[in-house]
Structure 1
């Protein structure tokens, strides 16, 4: 577009060279469009950047915002003047290009002779600058719209991870990658602060192809963005990292070639949790809107952390409830065994002793005593079954293998056991697995019409895997009072999973996995 406009200006006005200059945010002037009547190549090469100092058309227009001309090159100075003299420029006229009320650049008509350009050159150039300004505004609007769409798409991808409660580490990695790519940065680092200000890098992304050292700890101190954010709780930026930064974090940044960096705080429940930073390897400062664009990502990180901490607290609470219930079950089982059960056994023995002293011809008394003895024995058996249902002593004493064998012996349906683990596991894990098998066998006997139940138990990848399958009629559902809801709560409270597959007519399969090691609370948010 700029080249076409420059050529049109030159042909219409009859000047020798046309140039379009953009005034950049860093104060430099960049050639973005040019045309030359010369057959010896462009006299206004695109991409040239100069510092608009001294007295010349570019500085006059940028300082006043009005058209300017210099007809004698000897009256000009500064880098643009040196550029002009080196190419034999004579009279130069420049007019401002204003886009949406702000000075965007300069359009220049240039002569290669000593004759001044016509006095109406300024007015004639102005008509073209309005067209250029409109085209630039439309282009910027399209770019901004495309940028906004890309930003929303990036935020939406991260928000989807947060909404489905993805592990924090997955969210952190996605945030670093999305933020770095969206902002055209060379690095993006997400760090968590320790109480003393040490930054633990929990996720990192880089455009360089090298692996940035996520997982390292960087102490506070000096002048660097991580220390500035920790001390102030506010966004921080350093535009000349190599020259003005210091401290341990600065050493890491300089080793990786940081030149400019911006860092945003991450606050969770009103407390500073960490920071998200992006860095560039070129000399230009990060764009002025970098902080605002990072804010959307830091809010999503804060939400993910808060959700993970809430879930961790909920899981811990559920685990405590399950543990308390199991403790109460063991106490009740022990009290029943040591109290009423022993008392009933003692009474039965006393009745037997009394029977020995009864005359042989007292048939009716003997019969009644036999009934009492049988009743006491039945009561002991029933009480033992109740105690076993509350908490099986064989599980606590011998572990999962003998407990499951006892269940299989008492099952109303034949059970084929395949137990590939013989070692003891954490008590909550064994208890959850035992009750899952017990509930499945009870349900199969009551509802499935099955002829056999297969039970498979194994350890793999640090987890206990239990599978229970029957060949019954299927159609089981947790909502029908099968006890699976309570089992699911118990399993999930331990960080495990329970899955039910029960298509009608094809039997029922229950699979559960239970971690054999308990996660520390901090792992939920690292």
Structure 2
């Protein structure tokens, strides 16, 4: 049924009375006209005109009036024109009863015909409306499937709903915090839009307030006593609101209004189809955002985990983690803050967006409000919008930056609260659950710290072992030099002196045996000197690394080409490691490589000592299986250096060592 017909249809009784009156009037008018017509041509023309008038009434007014009018006209033509004619006077009782019966029958038939026509038109209109509604919903569903931007999608929903429902305007709004209504999208006919707003309070008995309160569709057909930003200055006659429910939560409201009269009864039902698509689109968008956020979080955690597994220094890890956290949460500043025992803390890692200057490596007080103090007090993740604190505190520093929202999570190392990871935003609030998402990163920071402590402890232990071994070598060398060597020298001198002089003349055999003993004592003394030299090379102690390497080259069984660019003395552990590296490499080359020549390069570069030994031998060197290279590798790594061997078969061997020139304890 058309909207015009619904609006202008009379009650059944009134409509039948008006149709009966139409029949009576038509009969009376026809009687007057026919009384004064004598020409058949005129009568025929009058009949045609009457027929056209009846058809026009049926077409443009209603068949309920056309049937009694047509029947009354035919009765008048029969009574007053066709013989035998009736006198032009008020009908007598019998004729009046006949006339009334005819007119009543005409009214009833007209009403039945009108009812049938209305049902046919209603069915046609319903079919058309359903088809139009399905087309509109299909267009909206297509936008949902395509994942168009939210602003474009919401504007399309408002336009489709307004056009389909034949209303004067449609507005989509979102509830926020249960107290505010935020404008999302709107469509309206020219001059039919209520005052615009971006954000307003949800209050009173407005449609939006009632929808939020009841969770059901709400209709208001009288807005005279309702004063809200939505209605102020607008002459609204009827307003319908339908809730938009997302995940069992009242996300917003879809409102349609009319400025001319009440909206059709089915408006609420038809609006619901659009709100369901809006809810689906919002749910899909949230799912996509959550999935993308989860993927980004996992990628960030994987990058941090890779860095931690690679043994990066903690200072480097802190800055890297802060950057990953800040970008992931859309924050303006991300900080790794270490607690100190005196009520202060140190910023050990910081990241910020361009234009935000946060002091790095600064000591700040842990006082007042904010995340650092709350995490220190509770030991749990926290979210806050308050950053009050005294001057010089980290909370006050965030307040000066204009922080609006912050989240923090504790960093716990081996059961001890070590520090806190903080992310802060100056504009929009941080995403929901930001404090929980920080926990994954703080676990990796704690792992990095634990690994660094373990590596430091291992390095210190290896340094102590190497130092103890070197000390033992020097003590053995000193004991050999001051003890066994001196006693052997004294014994040889004694044999050559007083013992040989005491031999009686003619005891040539005894003299020869004494000479042989003295010679063997000399050989034993030489062996001891070689052992002492291997334990702690004298050339290294006296002339430095360059002189000691040159001595090794002169003693090598394979020709050696030297490239030594070391001008100063280096720390003793570094020189010892470099010396033993060259010594072990030359020994292995002579024993196993079958090489023609060996190249030895020793140079300093920035804060490192580089030692490279290359030969052109058979290659295939094995650094495992009890090789002396294993001990060298341990010594080098104990000093914080790097050790590598490249030895493909039949392509020679390259041994490369890089040693930091600082003492091992200085790297901690």
TM-score (norm 2): 0.73
Match of 1:376 among 512, 515, 521: 521
Task: Please give the alpha-carbon distance, in whole angstroms, between the structure 1 residues aligned to 2:312 and 2:193.
Answer: 57
Report if aligned partners of 1:466, 1:512 keep a CA contact under 8 Å in 2.
yes
Q: Structure 2: give runs of 5+ residues left out of the alignment.
A: 1-152
Match of 2:226 among 76, 83, 89: 76
Task: Please give the alpha-carbon distance, in whole angstroms, between the structure 2 residues aligned to 1:417 and 1:506.
Answer: 20
Greater length-normalized contact order (CA 8 Å, ≥ 6 residues apart): 1
Q: Structure 1: give runs of 5+ residues left out of the alignment.
A: none
Stretch of structure 1 that moved more, 187-196 or 342-351: 187-196
Task: Please give the alpha-carbon distance, in whole angstroms, between the structure 1 residues aligned to 2:417 and 2:641.
Answer: 32
The Cα shift of 1:506 comes to: 2.9
Match of 1:145 in 2: 291
Match of 1:192 in 2: 338
Match of 1:326 among 447, 470, 474: 470
The Cα shift of 1:397 comes to: 4.2
Report if aligned partners of 2:325, 2:438 keep a CA contact under 8 Å in 1.
yes
Indicate how the Cα distance of structure 1 residues 437 and 300 shifts in structure 2: closer, same or farther if over 3 A, else same: same
Match of 1:497 among 624, 631, 642: 642
Match of 2:481 in 1: 337
Match of 1:174 in 2: 320
Indicate how the Cα distance of structure 1 residues 197 and 494 shifts in structure 2: closer, same or farther if over 3 A, else same: same
Is 1:121 the counterpart of 2:273? The answer is no
Match of 2:402 among 232, 240, 257: 257
TM-score (norm 1): 0.91
Report if aligned partners of 2:332, 2:356 keep a CA contact under 8 Å in 1.
no
Indicate how the Cα distance of structure 1 residues 503 and 51 shifts in structure 2: closer, same or farther if over 3 A, else same: same
Give runs of aligned pairs for residues 197-208 of structure 1, distance below 5 A.
197-208=343-354
Indicate how the Cα distance of structure 1 residues 300 and 26 shifts in structure 2: closer, same or farther if over 3 A, else same: farther
Stretch of structure 1 that moved more, 482-491 or 171-180: 171-180
Give runs of aligned pairs for residues 503-522 of structure 1, distance below 5 A.
503-518=648-663, 520=665
Indicate how the Cα distance of structure 1 residues 362 and 158 shifts in structure 2: closer, same or farther if over 3 A, else same: same
Report if aligned partners of 1:223, 1:250 keep a CA contact under 8 Å in 2.
yes
Task: Please give the alpha-carbon distance, in whole angstroms, between the structure 1 residues aligned to 2:647 and 2:386.
Answer: 64
Stretch of structure 1 that moved more, 9-18 or 263-272: 9-18
Secondary structure at the aligned position of 1:399 is classed as: helix
Report if aligned partners of 1:260, 1:280 keep a CA contact under 8 Å in 2.
yes
Stretch of structure 1 that moved more, 54-63 or 175-184: 54-63
Give runs of aligned pairs for residues 415-430 of structure 1, distance below 5 A.
415-430=560-575
Give runs of aligned pairs for residues 213-362 of structure 1, distance below 5 A.
213-241=359-387, 244-247=388-391, 248-282=393-427, 284-353=428-497, 354-358=499-503, 361-362=506-507
Indicate how the Cα distance of structure 1 residues 402 and 27 shifts in structure 2: closer, same or farther if over 3 A, else same: farther
Match of 2:213 in 1: 63
Is 1:24 the counterpart of 2:176? The answer is yes
Q: Deviations over 1:234-262 (max 9, x none)?
A: 22332144xx4555213321332212211
* Greater C-alpha Rg: 2
Match of 2:576 in 1: 431
Stretch of structure 1 that moved more, 100-109 or 285-294: 285-294
Structure with greater helix share of residues: 2
The Cα shift of 1:360 comes to: 5.7
The Cα shift of 1:272 comes to: 0.8
Is 1:389 the counterpart of 2:541? The answer is no
How many residue pairs end up in the alignment?
Answer: 514
Report if aligned partners of 1:192, 1:274 keep a CA contact under 8 Å in 2.
yes
Indicate how the Cα distance of structure 1 residues 520 and 324 shifts in structure 2: closer, same or farther if over 3 A, else same: closer
Q: Deviations over 1:441-494 (max 9, x none)?
A: 111111112233232222221122112222322222212543111100110011
Indicate how the Cα distance of structure 1 residues 13 and 361 shifts in structure 2: closer, same or farther if over 3 A, else same: same
Secondary structure at the aligned position of 1:286 is classed as: coil
The Cα shift of 1:28 comes to: 3.0
Indicate how the Cα distance of structure 1 residues 465 and 183 shifts in structure 2: closer, same or farther if over 3 A, else same: same
Task: Please give the alpha-carbon distance, in whole angstroms, between the structure 2 residues aligned to 1:307 and 1:26.
Answer: 47
Q: Deviations over 1:151-194 (max 9, x none)?
A: 21221121221222222233222211111111111111111122
The Cα shift of 1:199 comes to: 2.2
Secondary structure at the aligned position of 1:479 is classed as: coil
The Cα shift of 1:63 comes to: 2.2
